[in-house]
Each structure stands twice: as structure tokens, then as C-alpha cells.
């Protein structure tokens, strides 16, 4: 995360995160985000190469207007990937050839942070489409199951609390905790000229008793919130 090629004020170079020259290369259970390059800001593969991608997130990598796709070159999808912006180098299609891939959705990644490991990670935020949508047979490298995520935390977990344990897409395994989900989580803009913006809130699990969620502004001179509280119960907890 956070790599770039060329002048960061002017896009240049290829392969912001990965530049593959071998005949075959692969990423399994990885998260590649927030990299910059003119061509292939996440992954660039040379003509003789084919890149294998499995159970991985590719998102928020910035390419040029001419080559916006986050991946450039040969791609062999082993399935259960989430790619926010993909366009085939060869035919312009957004189809990776694997029906289990999720294309064009925001994975809702947290910033690169210390989430409890030696290396920083991008956490999956509540409501992420990467939660419990990975390989249903388990997180694997090849045919071998892995039991930990990048943070050495256990995987696989029931991240969406539906009673079924399933691998998450990417390097981070989300652990469910009772709470609430907000949509959208970013790009919410208002003005000081009377403009307004709307967000939606719901609980992520059924409450055992009514829940009151107070809402307020940290600076009422800049903006106000209406209503000032939300009420949830067993009948409306999952409604936006």
C-alpha cells in the first residue's frame, strides 16, 4: 500500500505495487490498495507473464486516464477476488473470466494502520462486501489451508454473523462484534450555504432489547444533525 512510480505529482512508470516479469506469478489472500502508477497501478505483468490472483482485494489504486484499470496484462483468476476497477488489457471487458469475482464494488477498507501485527494492514470496515465472500472451502495458498490472516489472527470466522463460517477476501479476517453500520462511510459532502447530506444507519445484529443511538455534531456552528437520536428494536434493526 502507498507505493508509486515516477513523480507522484505526475503519474509515470508501471506496476505501482507489483511488476511481474516471470512467466507466472501469484497473489493469494492479499490486499493491494492505494498505489499509483501510469499503467497497472496495482499489478503490471509483461507480455510473456500471466498473473494468478486468488481470494484477494485490489482497490483504490490510481492509474492514468489512458490506462485506469488497476491491473494491466495477463490475469488468471482463481476466483473469489474483489477488484474495484478492472478492464481487460486485451478486449476491454470487465469480466475476469471467473464468476466468483466481485468487480466494481468498494471493499470498504480502513486506512493502513497498526491493527495488531508487525506489519500495518487495511482493516475491513463493517458492511464490507469482502466479509464472508471468500473461498467457501477456506483460505488457501494453492491447495493448502491457512489458519491465520496477515496479523496472525485466526481465520476463518463468521464475520457477518449469519451462523456460517467463511473466509474473507483479502489479507484481513473480520471479527464480528455487535455494533452499527453507516452508509456511506466516506465522500459525504455538505456546504455552509444551507446544503445537506444524508446518511443511513442500521445495526449489524438483532438487539435483545431496544437500542437508542444518540446523534450530535462536534461543532454546531459548522453543522447540525437531525434527528438527534435513532431507535432500533427487533423489528427495524436491519432496515436502512
List per-residue pLDDT tens for the chain, 240 residues long.
Answer: 766 554 434 456 899 999 998 778 899 999 999 999 999 999 999 876 789 999 999 999 999 988 899 999 989 999 999 999 999 987 788 999 999 999 999 999 999 999 988 899 999 998 899 999 999 999 999 899 999 999 999 999 999 988 899 999 999 999 988 888 888 877 778 877 778 889 899 888 888 889 999 989 888 888 888 999 999 999 999 898
Q: Tell me the chain's radius of gyration from C-alpha atoms.
A: 20
Coil, helix or strand at residue 78: strand
CA distance 223 to 199: 14
What's residue 117's pLDDT?
A: 84
108 and 125 Cβ atoms separated by less than 8 Å: yes
What's residue 178's pLDDT?
A: 82
What's residue 190's pLDDT?
A: 80
Give which of 28, 66, 62, 21 is closest to 45, Cα–Cα.
21
What's residue 48's pLDDT?
A: 64
Determine how many CB atoms are found less than 10 A away from the CB of residue 200. 10
Q: Is 13 left (phi over 0), alpha (psi -120 to 50) or beta?
A: left
What's residue 9's pLDDT?
A: 40
Amino acid at each position: 500500500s502507498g507505493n508509486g512510480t515516477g513523480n507522484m505529482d505526475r503519474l509515470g512508470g508501471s506496476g505501482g505495487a507489483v511488476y511481474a516479469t516471470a512467466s507466472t506469478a501469484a497473489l493469494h489472500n492479499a490486499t493491494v490498495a492505494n498505489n499509483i502508477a501510469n499503467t497497472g497501478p496495482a499489478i503490471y505483468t509483461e507480455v510473456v507473464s500471466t498473473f494468478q490472483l486468488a481470494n484477494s482485494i485490489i482497490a483504490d489504486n490510481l492509474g492514468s486516464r489512458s490506462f485506469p484499470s488497476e491491473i494491466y496484462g495477463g490475469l488468471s483468476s482463481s476466483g473469489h477476488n474483489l477488484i474495484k476497477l478492472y478492464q481487460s488489457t486485451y478486449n476491454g471487458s470487465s469480466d475476469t473470466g471467473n464468476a466468483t469475482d466481485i468487480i466494481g464494488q468498494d471493499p470498504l477498507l480502513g486506512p493502513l494502520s497498526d491493527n495488531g501485527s508487525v506489519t500495518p494492514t487495511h482493516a475491513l470496515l463493517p458492511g464490507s462486501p469482502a466479509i464472508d465472500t471468500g473461498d467457501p472451502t477456506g483460505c488457501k495458498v494453492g491447495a493448502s489451508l491457512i489458519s491465520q490472516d496477515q496479523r496472525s489472527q485466526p481465520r476463518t470466522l463468521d464475520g457477518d454473523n449469519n451462523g456460517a463460517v467463511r473466509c474473507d477476501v483479502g489479507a484481513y479476517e473480520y471479527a464480528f462484534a455487535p455494533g452499527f453500520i453507516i452508509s456511506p462511510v466516506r465522500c459525504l459532502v455538505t456546504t455552509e450555504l444551507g446544503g445537506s447530506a444524508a446518511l443511513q444507519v442500521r445495526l449489524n445484529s438483532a438487539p435483545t432489547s431496544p437500542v437508542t443511538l444518540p446523534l450530535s455534531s462536534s461543532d454546531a456552528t459548522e453543522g447540525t444533525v437531525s434527528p438527534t437520536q435513532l431507535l432500533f428494536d427487533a423489528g427495524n434493526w436491519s432496515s436502512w
